[in-house]
Structure 1
Amino acid sequence: MLLERKYFRDIDLNDPFFDSLKASYSEFSEWFVRKNQDTAYVFTNQNGAIDGFLYIKIEEGAVSDVDPVLPAAKRLKIGTLKINAHGTKLGERFIKKIFDHATYEGVQEIYVTVFDEHAALIALLERYGFIRRASKTSVNGIESVFVKRLCDVHDDVVARYPVVRLAGQRAYLLSLKPEWHTRLLPDSILKTETADIVQDVSHTNSIHKVYLTAMRGVDALRLGDVLLIYRTSDGLGAAHHRSVATSVCVVEEFRSIHSFPSRDAFLVYCRPYSVFTEDELSRFWATRRYPYVIRFTYNIALKKRITRGAMIENAGLDASAYWGFLPLTHAQFLNIIRQGGVHESLVIH
């Protein structure tokens, strides 16, 4: 299964996947051909057939073909979004790509028009903070207009994704070994120079992550705590230069492995979002080797990875402290993410 960014001219309009879009939008085929120089994200299954399609674009000014009119702003428009759901997390992968582009472009809003019959898609959008704010009437019928304002402050950590609320929350540094880091956070590629996260189209992307650990102190984690992910040294040089902060995440839930009534319940909880295979998880259940289970949202990949040395010298972190799980002051956290090129609008403090 593969998620790729492709030119329209290289996408087969005759694939049966597009039949429902042609039926819903009389102008779809003509529009598709006109877009031959543009790109879209396409997900193909193991048989080579299309199972997902996402087209997005930047707009500036008012959106005047909806009621009420959306006032002038820089927006990301979701032009086309369709998913054949097969129990995968494809919807979340596309939502993450949408937010990656929105944050990269510095837009204020994201919007999409949807026919009310698409209940599953609407539920997905609403889960991540999209709100019905207008309607659009055309020859094809009446669509609802859903808008995600990145400045809106939702109480729910998922609804306000990708924005991180630092105010009133605790911040921690959480270290991951390189082998787990690569599997868990594919956007946070392992280099310290600027990284273009928009070009990373790894099919392993997802918004939600589950990680198991035995590190002391992590049992203090609670809903809403902010995590600065720290990749430990790869052994190719001194940790001072090779260990780096890469990402910002927000805790959804902390659980003990002992809170699950059975192995099956444990697997159902962990399997969809864990870096570990089912065999690995089964061994962990049997041995209780990693008793702490952390579920979190993967909010921000730092544009520049910040080394251990820079965090000590510029943010005042204690070189002699235990860096497996380390409490951070708000000032330290903000210092590090500013060094990492995180846009201020993504953090409420």
Structure 2
Amino acid sequence: MVARIYREEYGRCVATLTRVCGDLTLAEDMVQEAFTTALTAWSERLPPNPGAWIVVTARRRAIDRLRREAKREQKHAEALLVHPPPEHEEVGPVADDQLRLIFTCCHPAIAPEARVALTLRTLGGLTTPEVARAFLVPEPTIAQRIVRAKKKIATAGIPYRVPADHDLPDRLSSVLAVIYLIFTQGYAPSTGAELVRTDLCAEAIRLARLLVALMPDEEEAVGLLALLLLTESRQPARTDPGGDLVPLAEQDRTRWDASLIDEGQALVRWCLQRNRPGPYQVQAAIAAVHSDAATAGATDWHQILALYDQLLTLAPSPVVALNRAVALAEVRGPAEALSAVDGLDLDGYYLLHATRADLLSRLGRAREAGAAWHRASELTANEVERQFIADRIAALE
């Protein structure tokens, strides 16, 4: 029970306490201590509002620590005790605590890769290993990035305040990346026994909606929201009654959420009218083409391949090239797609090997496909995905 609440509330509590005390590290420490206290305090009865309980407990502990450290901190703590800030204080253009702190963590003084890593760890509810998998880099590398980012905040005196209106666009790309990766880790968790973490998906969509409300004329913000909605629309069909993974081509599309599709497609149309394409808008357009097809066989793969070509121009990366290869297989056949996949430097990415396995199976190369499936299984820590791979291996054998 506490573990579930921790996943759902940790980011919100850290964001609120950071606004209150102005110190991210202190906020993280005190929220951790509050959850430790909750293990005992909640053993018999859960409070009506667990998140508020954590914030109040953490704030009291923060005040106690500040009182012990020095006179200056003591005065600050006493001020907080006597004049606590309103629970829903609105400051500047960013009214939501979590979105506000995301913009703060994306300060230009922090290295770009460290901005996203720090925010995912602090607010996204992700562990350091999960953040490392999201970036496809070793865990120690991510840990070092997060430590350096925190030191930069402290040494440079980066304030925990709402950025001015004119500063918002410069930080937008990092904020979009954070929200997208939060959703990705919810939609396809890299670890655990669940195929989806609904709390992360819902939080990412909530933040994306807030961002669009804040910056309604930013096409990429609208494109990201459209992408998340269209992707989330498939969620009900991604597992069978037994909880096993169902790949996109085999999903019952009547189970897709029509309201999310309608909303997402309307946002894509708005972006098309603006005619200023960006990576998230193109990805949303790809998702929209999938959502247009009543069956997998009716999918317009030629259009999807053309969109992936455009995406590779806007945001070239091995992962985009891998996704393009899936469309390439449908348009030009698995042999050409396999050739494209084999040229990618993604050996540590399980989806590369899963894609190779599928292409090899379609080419009748069962032994090689089995080896690729085994390699994919070694690289994923998600139990549902491992079971899916095991079923594929069993079918080959």
Fold in common (TM above 0.5): no
TM normalised by structure 1 equals 0.26
- Which structure shows the higher strand fraction? 1
- Which structure shows the higher helix fraction? 2
Higher relative contact order by CA 8 Å / sep ≥ 6: 1 or 2? 1
